[in-house]
Amino acid sequence: MEKDYRVNKAIFIIVYLLIGLFLIVKPGTSTKILCGVLGGMLGIVGILKILNYFRLPDYEAMIRKELAIGLSMLLVGFYIIFETEAVAALIPAILGIVMVFEAMSKLQETMDLHRLKSGAWKATLVFAVIVLVLGCIILFNPFKAIETLMLFIGISLIIEATANLVIMIMLAVLSKKKKVEKNEVVLSEGKYKEENIQ
């Protein structure tokens, strides 16, 4: 489960990086082309989730709903590609909402790290605030030129991907540390029992 979480996170980090770099290199890209890129990437992630469903154990597959999520992402991807006229105007708002949602997710990760008494919660909180501010700016779109908006979205997605990568590494380190501490406790308890038996 933990491994799959990291894989899913890594996929989204790569997606954010690719779209972000694409928009930074070509800020004059029309929202229609961006729709094609987004739709294609959603479709790819959807296919990966569908394939993942068939390799999961029965009970875990039932809980995780990978098939339903994958099919939904695939359908949304196709809709975005084939209905660019309807979707194009909504792209900035959609990306803004996604970033605000990601910021809320990071706020929960901040609280989780704080409850685990990890000092990393401060860094996670900073990332959450930055991503929230960027998402709100994209949502309210104060830019007059579409090129400026696209460039800003590209930079924001790169920052979001970087934040996700750093948080993922911090959580992995914390998880490894907790496992080591748990093993040490088990070993010390076993040693204590052996001494009492003797």
State if pTM tops 0.85: no
Is residue 96 included in any domain, yes or no? yes
Is residue 198 included in any domain, yes or no? no
Is residue 183 included in any domain, yes or no? yes
pLDDT confidence bin for 3, thresholds 50/70/90: low
Q: Identify the pLDDT of residue 72.
A: 93
Is residue 9 included in any domain, yes or no? yes
Of 56 and 97, more confident? 97
Is residue 196 included in any domain, yes or no? no
Please compute the mean of the pLDDT values over residues 142-166 and round it to a whole number.
Answer: 87
For 125-136, what is each residue's pLDDT tens digit? Answer: 999 999 999 999
Q: Identify the pLDDT of residue 188.
A: 58
Is residue 8 included in any domain, yes or no? yes
Is residue 136 included in any domain, yes or no? yes
For 23-70, what is each residue's pLDDT tens digit? Answer: 888 877 667 777 888 888 888 888 988 888 888 788 777 777 888 988
pLDDT confidence bin for 179, thresholds 50/70/90: low
Mean pLDDT of the chain: 81
Is residue 159 included in any domain, yes or no? yes
The answer on pLDDT for 190 being more than 70 is no
Please compute the mean of the pLDDT values over residues 140-147 and round it to a whole number.
Answer: 82
Boundaries of domain holding 74 = 2-191
Split into its structural domains, the chain has a count of: 1
DSSP the chain: -HHHHHHHHHHHHHHHHHHHHHHHH-TT--HHHHHHHHHHHHHHHHHHHHHHHHHS-HHHHHHH-HHHHHHHHHHHHHHHHHTHHHHHTTHHHHHHHHHHHHHHHHHHHHHHHHHTT-TTHHHHHHHHHHHHHHHHHHHH---SSHHHHHHHHHHHHHHHHHHHHHHHHHHHHHHHHHHHHHHHHHHHHHHHHHHHH-
Q: Identify the pLDDT of residue 24.
A: 86
